[in-house]
Every structure is written in C-alpha cells, then in structure tokens.
Amino acid sequence: MEERLSAVLSPYEGRKDALIPILQKVQDELGYLPDDAMLEIAKTTGLPESRVYAVASFYAQFRFTPRGKHTIMVCRGTACHVRGAERILEETERSLGIVEGETTEDQKYTLETVACIGCCALAPCVMIDEDVEAKLTPQMVPEILSGRNE
Amino acid sequence: MMNFTEIQEQARQEWDSLQSGSVPVIAVGTATCGRSAGALGVVQAFEEEMSEKGVEAHIVEVGCIGPCYAEPLVNITKPGRATVAYKNVTKKMVTEIVDNYLKGDDPLPHYTLGSFGEGTVENIPRILDTPSFKPQERRVFRNCGVIDPTNINHYIANEGYNGLSKALTMTQSEVVEEMKKSGLRGRGGGGFPAGRKWEAGLNAEGDQKYVVCNADEGDPGAFMDRAVIEGDPHSVLEGMIIAGYAIGADTGYIYVRAEYPLAIRRLERAIEQAHEKGFLGNNILGTDFSFDINIFPGAGAFVCGESTALTLSIEGKRGMPRVAPRPRTTEQGLYDKPTLLNNVKTFSSAPMIITRGAEWFASIGTEKSTGTAIFALTGKVNNCGLIEVPMGITLREIIYDIGGGVADGGRFKAVQTGGPSGGCLPESLLDTPIDYDSLDEAGSIMGSGGMVVMDEKTCMVDVARYFLDFTEIESCGQCVPCRLGTKQLLDILKDICAGKGKKGDIDLLIELSQSVHGGSVCGLGQTAANPVLTTIRYFRDEFEAHINDKCCPAKVCKPLISFRILEDKCAGCTLCAKSCPVNAISGEKKEVHVIDQGLCVQCGVCMEKCPKKFSAVECLSPKLPVAPKETTEVVA
C-alpha cells in the first residue's frame, strides 16, 4: 500500500489547497481512506491530521472502511421515491441480509443509498458498480443481484 | 494559428459534409440516461449489422435528446430526407431498421416517435407538431442531441464560439450591458439577475478575479445540468470565457459532481479542444485576453450549491457557508478574491445572448422572467424527460401536454418544483405560470429545474418527511436553527407517519418551520421547511388524517396500513404465500389464504403477485387490529 500511496501523493507536497482532489485520488487508488493514508496525507500537505479528517468526514464521497466487491447503490431521488424506492431498498436489505451502509460478511456486496443518480425517467433504479438497473420492482431485486453472483 | 473565420470555415465544411453527404447519418443519444437504457449496446449493434450487411452510414454519438421515456433514442437522416426518430430501440429492432430503412425504404413507422428537419417521411408525423413538443423551445438545449459533444467543430459550425468572438470586439461594459438587457436571471434557482451579478463582478476591485461554474447539481430529481454538460460542453465553456472577459478574470473553475463521470470526461475533452483552437489559454483569438478553466470534482455535499460553501470547498475546506454579515461572492469569493459564480445553464445562455442579442433572448418568456425554463419532468407522469419551455407556460400545459398526463391512469395530486428547497403545489394551482415570481408566491420556487409529478398514491406527509430526511442529513451543522430545527421537524414528521402524531403537531411544525426559516445562516436552512409548509398549506387534510384517524389516505405509511386477502376473490393459487418474504401467509392450495397481521411487514409483494384476474389482496388504512393469539382468547 505504501508504494501506491506515495505514488499518488508525490505531486502534492505542501499543497494544502488540493486536499479534496488528494482524498479523491487516494480513495480511487485504495478503495477507501485507511488511517495510515490519512496520516500520510496530513504529512504530505502539511495540514493537521484533524483538518484532513474534518474535511474527509464532511463529504459524502469519502469512506473509512473498505467496500465489498460490488457496490449496490439504491437511488433515493424524488422520482425514485414516489415510484417505490423505499421498497426496493427493503427488498435489497432482505436479500443481502444487511442494512444500508453495511458490507456482507463475505465482502461481496456493499449496500449504500444515493441522493440521486439522475436517471429519474427510469425510476426506481439501482446502480450496481457502474451499471444502472432501471424500472425495478421488488421482485426483480433477487434477479439483478444474482446476475453478479459469480 | 488560424483566425476565427478560418476556424469557422473548416468547421462548417466538416459539418456540412456530414449533413449533406451521400450516406445516412445515425445519431444515437449516449448521455448517461441513454446509456442506462442501453444506448451503447445499440451503437454496437448498428456497427455490427452494418458491417455484416455492407451498409454504409455515419454513426454519431450525441447528447441527451430530451424524451428520456423513449430512450434509447436513435435519429436516422437519409440524404435529402427528414430525420426519423426511433424510440426505445433494442438490438433486435436495429436489425429490422437496418434491413428495412437503411437497405430498403420502409421507415417502420410503428417504431418511431416522429420526424423532424426539412422534408417529410411518409406515414410519420412531424414531432414538432405533437402536443409533447409543440410548446417546447430548445435554446439552452440547442445542440443537445444534435451535435457530437466530443467534436468542437460540430459546436463551432452551429454558431459556437461566435459569441466569444463577438464579445472580444466589444468593451467589457458593453458585454455586461447586453447581459443586463437580456433580463436573464440566474438559472441555479434563486433567480438573481445575471447581468447585475456580472456588473458587480466587473466593478469589484482586485487584480485577481475568478469565474466559477456551479455544476454541483444536488437536487434529488434533477439532471438538467448534467445533460447540458454531456450534450454541449462547449456552450458552458464559451459562456464562462465570455464572463471572464466581461469581469476581467483569468481563471475559471467548474465545480462538478464527482458522481457525473461522463460529464467530467466531456469537459476535460472540451477544454483540451478549446485550447487547441485558441479559445482558451493565452491571448485568446489574438487579443490580450487570457483565460483558463479548471475542473473541480465536488465530493458530495448538497450545501456546496451555496456560493460561499462552494468556494470554500474548492479551497480544500469543509463546505460550510460563511456566516453573516458576509460579503457578496462577487466582492470576496474564492480565495477572498472577487468571484462570479453562475449555474451551468446561465453560462450556457450567455453565448446566445451575445451572438443573437438581448432582444432576441427576451423575445420569449415573461416580462420579469425572460427566455426559457428547463425542467427534468419526472415522477408519475407518462413522458418523463428533459424539457425546455418558454417562461410563462402553465404547470398544466407542462404536465398534460408535454408530459402526456399522469402515468398509469392515475389521478394528479401534486407537483413538486425546486427540490428540497421548493414545495408541492396542488391541482388548484395547475394554471400557475412558470416564472420566478409566480412560483415564489405559490410557496414553491423555480429551483434549478426538478419537477416531480405525484399522484394519489403519493402520501404528502411522507413526501415532507422524505425532504426533511434529506436536508437534515445535508445540513452542514454550523447553525443551530438548521441543525436542530430540521432534526425536530423530521422527528415530528416521522412520528406522524408512524401513527404517533399528536394534536398540536401541525401548529408546532408551522412554528418550527418559521424559526428555521428565519434563523438559519444560508439558503439551505432558510428554505428547508418549504416542503413542510407547502404540504401543510395545501394538503392539511392528509396531516389531520394521519394524526386524528391514524389513517394514511395514500396507503403509503406502513405503520398505518394493513393488507388483507378477500375471501370471495381468493382462488388459493398460493402465489402470494410463496412470495411472502416473512411467511406471513397461510392457506392450502385452492383454499382461501390468510395474512397473519402480526407477522406481516406491509411490503406489498402479495398484492403485486396476486394475478390481476383475482385481485384478491386489498390494502387498508387505518390498520386492521392484530388478531389476538389463541392463548389470550382462552384467558378472555
């Protein structure tokens, strides 16, 4: 991890203003923001660790725990909400045996919700990794999950 | 380097040879929404079919065409013919279209949405004559779905960078004056006159100034800005460059949601191309003016839509709005320097205003709200999609003509505009004209462009709870009225939805809402209670039903509903029992089934599974009493 981290951080020595892009790049590389990485970011930028944490914890994009192999994001946009997103979320939680924000024990799935993925015309929808599953009903949930069950 | 006339000439040649060439042009909408519906598979299918069958045609990937309900959309133009728009195209249809219309001459009318452009195609109606398109006026969307957004020459050939070229021959004040005359109001939702903001930017003292584009589209239910960036990124860049010239800035930032990866890629590509042509960089088009644009992917915080929070976020800080008394961003913004901050659509409008003039821009719309409004029309409406309409059109025209009415034969209940800062308007206000002031008066706001239609199956108390859930999470937490006020509002709404509402809750909600509105530092807090206030104002009876009768009239709030199987209708097909996730349904085959109300979690799967011909499951509110267990019966 150290090598990957220093490769990402090397162009940012002393760049306090670039904290958010740095956090994004580190998370892209490592999948999340482990404690060690937060320390390294603080050292590289010259910012106090508390400030790095304060910024990282403010924004929804950043996470401090590793994700499962697949990330399932249930959209809770207004259009999805009025078309039954709540029930899609419940069915997904039941199917996976975890609740929003958790990762399955086998590290296969992480379940999250997202404010809106902007596919409102296809509501309700769920994003699995990069793919959007559109116009869902609760019954379709096990099917779209099993598609990834390799 | 070529001068602008030469650049235009070259671009036009490329565009004309595509448009009036000897082979058909196949334009596929491959913006994010098109992709979600399978547009990339359609592109691939066309490529394969054509190479297999030896058919020649140009495939162009374009941005969002607008009618999302018809995605994937494919527009085919045969030489000398009108363009035929195909809707909901599948791979199987691609084979048929290639065989029948590209090889043969049958356009397969049943697959089409209509035709447009010069000429006609037999048996296919002209799209612009249909009720759904007739009221629309594509100005900000002028190029979306028409040009290849990754090809700068397509943009240039369609009046692109004309505004910049013209602006550079004007003085800074003349550019500002033109913007003022146009009457353009900030398209981010607030509606502050853009020209006055530009003027403040020009007049602000400082050797370093910035232009910032707010593309942090955070309203749930809105995706207009993404569509503009994905479909016509150069229009945003051009608007920003003109703004930079007008106020005397040399650096621009685009603050764009990190969740919009395709939009970011399109912007990166566009910035690169603009540099190559000399529209960005040093000495733009041979003048003394230099300008550059950086992309800043926002990390996901709704409050960063607020200008002071947004600029702090670019500086690498927590996006917490500055506390009053705060200077205007135009005086002291990014890095404390004068900063002009506008929304994507505001910048995208600027090139048109400079090219065609303020009078042309103001020729449609209303006196105080000129030009067009863009909405992401979604929810329970037949024709979901992005629409652009002249200001002043009524909500009714949008929902019933353009939107094709309420989906699934439902009954209209409310329309929500302005996202979490806006409100829900009832049927009695459907004739409200769309403009900043009328919507404000009705208790909602224009907002950035989300418009969600709700029917009788939408619970308005639940909708208020939904929005407060959002603002409570997104509140940055620095000021008490917003941090605690939204929490209290949410708790009361949750109680009402759970059947624990108390007498006096409605008055308490109103009083709290007023405190949150009056005491919060920024726009997020000041408008957070709008969804609560408008739902109470127009749908008070639903709140009362929840509180007094423990009844959810829309049958949405689970603690207030029950499902029951109707004895006279149940055929004992066992489908419901098999699909019940909590095994709450019992009954032998061919015998009436029964739901154990104590076990039921109100998921509604049984109702969906029950075949239409039986329709044996009904939903009730208030809740059925839970049958007492047998043991208690004995005791009784």
Tens of pLDDT, residue by residue over B240-271, are 999 999 999 999 999 998 888 899 999 999 99
Note whether B269 and B150 are within 8 A (CB). Answer: yes
Q: Which fold has domain B161-362?
A: Rossmann fold (3.40.50)
Q: For residues B559 and B207, what is the distance between their CA atoms, to the nearest angstrom?
A: 61
Chain A touched by B584 (CB under 8 Å): no
B372-455 maps to CATH 3.10.20.600: yes
Q: What's the pLDDT at A32? A: 94
Do residues A63 and B258 touch, judged by C-beta distance below 8 A?
no
Q: Are the beta carbons of B323 and B309 closer than 8 angstroms? A: no
pLDDT at residue B635 tops 50: no
Q: How far apart are CA B167 and CA B350, in angstroms?
A: 10
- What residue ranges define each of the domains in chain A, with the CATH number in brackets? 2-58 (no CATH), 70-146 (3.40.30.10)
Domain range summary for chain B, segments of one domain joined by +: 14-129, 161-362, 372-455, 460-548, 561-635
The pLDDT tens digits for B319-364 are 999 987 778 999 999 999 999 999 999 999 999 999 999 999 999 9
Smallest CA-to-CA distance from B498 within B531, B457, B465, B467 is with: B465
Tell if the CB–CB gap between B36 and A122 is shorter than 8 Å.
Answer: yes
Chain A residues with CB-CB distance to B221 below 8 A:
77-79, 116, 120
Chain B contacts of A24, Cβ < 8 Å? 258, 297, 299
Say if the Cβ atoms of A60 and B301 lie within 8 Å.
yes
Specify whether domain B14-129 bears CATH 3.40.30.10: yes
Beta carbons of A87 and B604 less than 8 Å apart: yes
Put simply, the answer to whether A118 touches B299 (Cβ < 8 Å) is no
- Chain A interface with B: residues with Cβ < 8 Å: 16-21, 23-24, 54-55, 58-62, 76-79, 81-83, 87, 90-91, 94, 114-123, 125, 132, 134, 137-139
CB B314 within 8 A of CB B252: no
B259, B220 contact by CB (below 8 A) = no
> Mean pLDDT over residues B167-172, rounded?
98
Distant-in-sequence, close-in-space partners of B46: CB < 8 Å, separation ≥ 6: B26, B28, B57, B59, B74, B94, B98
Global ipTM: 0.91
pLDDT digits (tens, 9 = 90+) for B476-514: 999 999 999 999 999 999 999 999 999 999 999 999 999
Note the pTM of the prediction, 2 decimals. Answer: 0.93
User: Which one of B64, B294, B317 would you mutate to disrupt binding with A, by most A Cβ within 10 Å of its Cβ?
Assistant: B317
Over residues B197-222, mean pLDDT: 93
Nearest residue on chain B to A123, alpha-carbon basis = B379
Mean pLDDT for B558-580 is 95
**Span B460-548: which CATH code?**
1.20.1440.230
Note whether B570 and B593 are within 8 A (CB). yes
Q: What is the mean pLDDT of residues A77-96?
A: 91
Among candidates A91, A94, A120 on the partner chain, residue whose Cβ is nearest the Cβ of B221: A120
Query: For the domain bounded by B561-635, which CATH number is listed?
Result: 3.30.70.20
User: In this model, does residue A150 exceed pLDDT 60?
Assistant: no
Q: Is B111 on the interface with A (CB under 8 A)?
A: no
Q: Which residue has the tokens 């607008």?
A: B66
Q: Under a CB-based contact definition with an 8 Å cutoff, are residues B207 and B201 in contact?
A: no
CA angle B222, B225, B230 (to 5 degrees): 120
B contact test, residue of A53, A74, A117, A120 with most B CBs within 10 A: A120
CB contact under 8 A, B608 and A121: no
